[in-house]
Amino acid sequence: MKLTNKLCGAALLAVAGVAIAAPNTKAVDNLEHSGDAYIEFTRNTDGGPDTTITKPGTTDSTITNIPGVTDPGDFGIMAVTPLDFSSHEVVAGSIAIREYFAEPFEANKGNADAYKVENFVKFRDKRSTLNRKYSLSARMTQEFTGNVDGTPVTLEGSILTFTNLQLKSIEPTHLQPQNPTISATVALAVADGTSKPFVVNNEADRGAGNYELTFGTYDNGSADKAVRLDIDGKAQIYETKYTAKVLWTLAEVK
């Protein structure tokens, strides 16, 4: 208790000493004085209604029939058009390679506003970040698989080849990547085992907003043969509907 009192007394004396000491300071220049200004920005990180899918590179011609459209938040993939290689007669005999092309996607099929469009992947980057580098890649995770009399059958060794890749966007030019690395051709097969890059943005300060990676352009006739399926000649083809799976990934690049 005494120790506490002594410390308090010493402190009071020190303050009193400062109060009675004669000033020995230089006159302050009071012609200039700095002041602060403040502004703060926040953002909605709950995603939101910005998941409308439209014709690539436009704000109109809304598409309502792409399955599995999702809201990925600030960074991710919103939609992927399903690849439809149509229906064909069963192939008999041994043919080295059987080649088919994905049809352009029919937006709003069965409705009055139906129209054809190239197949595409829509993704976005709306992060608040100094490093906006990213890559869009994909791998084939399931062979074309059907069912015959309750038994799974596959078109083993099939290859999906994507050509005529383009990056489209309605974002202002100053936001879009100036020189993204876009692969000329990408071939996917289950046997590859790893993802292959389709688009890489290496500009840390560019790439914000919504983008579509397209395979050809329907309006100029380049979409009809932009995605090819090659079925190995050793694969037995049965009368069934086959489905394969492609996993798309949008990832940060350091």
Give the tens place of pLDDT for each residue, 64-99: 999 999 999 999 999 999 999 999 887 665 566 789
Other CB atoms within a 10 A radius of the CB of residue 85 amount to 17
- Residue 42 included in any domain: no
Q: What confidence tier does 3 reach under pLDDT thresholds 50, 70, 90?
A: very low
Q: What are the phi and psi torsion angles at 220 (to 5°)?
A: -105, 10
145 vs 135: CA distance, rounded Å:
29
50 close to 76: Cβ distance less than 8 angstroms: no
Mean pLDDT computed over every residue of the chain: 85
- Residue 19 included in any domain: no
- Residue 22 included in any domain: no
* Residue whose C-alpha is closest to residue 160's, from 63, 228, 71: 228
pLDDT above 70 covers a percentage of the chain that reads 79
Domain coverage including residue 56: 48-252
Q: What is the largest CA-CA distance in the chain?
A: 111
Structural domain count, the chain: 1
Q: What confidence tier does 11 reach under pLDDT thresholds 50, 70, 90?
A: very low
- Residue 9 included in any domain: no
pLDDT value at residue 78: 96
DSSP letter at 190 equals: G
pLDDT in tens, 118-177: 999 999 999 999 999 999 999 999 999 999 999 999 999 999 999 999 999 999 999 999
- Residue 228 included in any domain: yes
Q: What confidence tier does 215 reach under pLDDT thresholds 50, 70, 90?
A: very high
Q: What are the phi and psi torsion angles at 205 (to 5°)?
A: -100, 10
